[in-house]
């Protein structure tokens, strides 16, 4: 899928549909802007006026409490008006098409749509049919992309590990069906991570996965050896059709992250998981709740990152120092 829809005629980010094709500097601008929003959640009044008077519609054709809620909180902290629509109990069940739904909401003067859909390419379809003043954020489309999750994950990694250029990162689990893994790989590669590993049974590794610039492993001990970051993925039961794993117990025995398996990684390795977690299947509770886990901070950081993306694409973000220096130069 082409990414030229994401930018306007001046090269500014207009939509966020995928991380693929974003420059390192664009990603860093998002992360730096998010850094400036972290403290908003710690204030007594958790609001800034950047998007006052703007209307944001969360249009989730696929359920996700965590993602929808963090988008809602992010928009409200920017002082936008937020409307949540569940098409499963509205016009979509009456036969209205995706574009008709968008056009009707657009007629109500919506400024930004956050779209989550089970079909890959849905956000692109919408972005290609909205006027120039309307913006689209892809909150997950099929098995294709989940860009805001990828960005909040690299924000989390930077907060806990600093620079990217010396890191070794392992992504573990259902790589085949995971839009999070694809977005994460593109983000890590753009930021210059020298070694990205994927660990999964062969049935859950895409064909020619090496073309993404990753090293595939089917053994946890080999794959986790000396890594700095371990990113666990949810087993995508809803996207599986057929026997990808012999049994859930065997999957946990071989690929579930336990304290014993974590010892293969570096002593100070951090653990991420995009959620929701299947405890006892992808990850042991002792590890998920342990000192190396940054799973809950991921959720907190997700609000600041989504605030940054909304503010940047709608032209309301405060300029970060590096960006200001570039303009001055």
The residues that are catalytic are 66-67, 94, 116, 146
End-to-end Cα spacing for the chain: 34
Residues 6+ apart with CB under 8 A from 270: 156, 157, 160, 161, 228, 229, 230, 292, 293, 294
DSSP SS3 for 34: helix
Residue 66 annotated as binding site: yes
Distance CA 328, CA 32 (A): 18
Nearest alpha carbon to residue 196 among 212, 183, 173, 208: 212
Lookup: tokens for 299:
């959720």
The reply to whether 76 sits in an annotated binding site is no
Is 146 annotated to bind a ligand? Reply is yes
Contact 225, 266 (CB under 8 A): no
Instruction: Answer yes or no: is 116 a known binding residue.
Output: yes
| Strand partners for 216 | 198
Locus of tokens 């509205």: 90
Q: Known binder of ligand: residue 149?
A: yes
According to the annotation, is 67 in a ligand binding site? yes
Coil vs helix vs strand at 328: helix
Residues tagged in the binding site annotation for L-aspartate: 94, 179, 234
- Residue ranges for the binding site for carbamoyl phosphate? 66-67, 116, 146, 149, 275-276
Annotated binding site: 66-67, 94, 116, 146, 149, 179, 234, 275-276
């Amino acid at each position: 899928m082409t990414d030229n829809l994401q930018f306007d005629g001046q090269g500014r980010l207009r939509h966020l549909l995928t991380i693929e094709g974003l420059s390192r500097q664009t990603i860093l601008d998002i992360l730096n802007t998010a850094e400036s929003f972290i403290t908003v959640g710690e204030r007594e009044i958790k609001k800034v006026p950047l998007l006052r008077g703007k209307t944001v519609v969360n249009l989730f054709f696929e359920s996700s409490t965590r993602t929808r809620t963090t988008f809602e909180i992010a928009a409200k902290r920017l002082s936008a008006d937020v409307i949540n629509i569940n098409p499963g109990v509205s016009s979509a069940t009456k036969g209205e098409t995706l574009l008709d739904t968008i056009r009707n909401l657009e007629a109500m003067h919506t400024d930004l749509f956050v779209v989550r859909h089970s079909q890959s390419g849905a956000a692109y379809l919408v972005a290609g049919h909205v006027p120039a003043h309307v913006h689209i954020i892809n909150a997950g489309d099929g098995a294709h992309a989940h860009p805001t999750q990828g960005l909040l994950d690299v924000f989390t990694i930077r907060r806990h590990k600093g620079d990217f250029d010396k890191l070794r990162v392992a992504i573990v689990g259902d790589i085949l069906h995971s839009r999070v893994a694809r977005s994460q790989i593109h983000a890590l590669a753009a930021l210059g991570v020298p070694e990205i590993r994927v660990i999964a049974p062969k049935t859950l590794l895409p064909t020619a996965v090496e073309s993404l610039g990753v090293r595939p492993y089917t053994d946890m001990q080999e794959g986790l050896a000396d890594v700095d970051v371990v990113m666990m993925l949810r087993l995508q039961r809803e996207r599986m059709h057929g026997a990808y794993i012999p049994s859930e117990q065997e999957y946990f025995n071989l690929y579930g992250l336990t304290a014993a398996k974590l010892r293969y990684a570096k002593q100070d390795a951090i653990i991420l998981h995009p959620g929701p977690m299947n405890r006892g299947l992808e990850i042991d509770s002792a590890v998920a709740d342990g000192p190396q886990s940054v799973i809950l901070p991921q959720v907190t950081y997700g609000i600041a990152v989504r605030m940054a993306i909304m503010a940047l694409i709608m032209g309301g973000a405060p300029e970060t120092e590096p960006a200001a220096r570039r303009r001055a130069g």
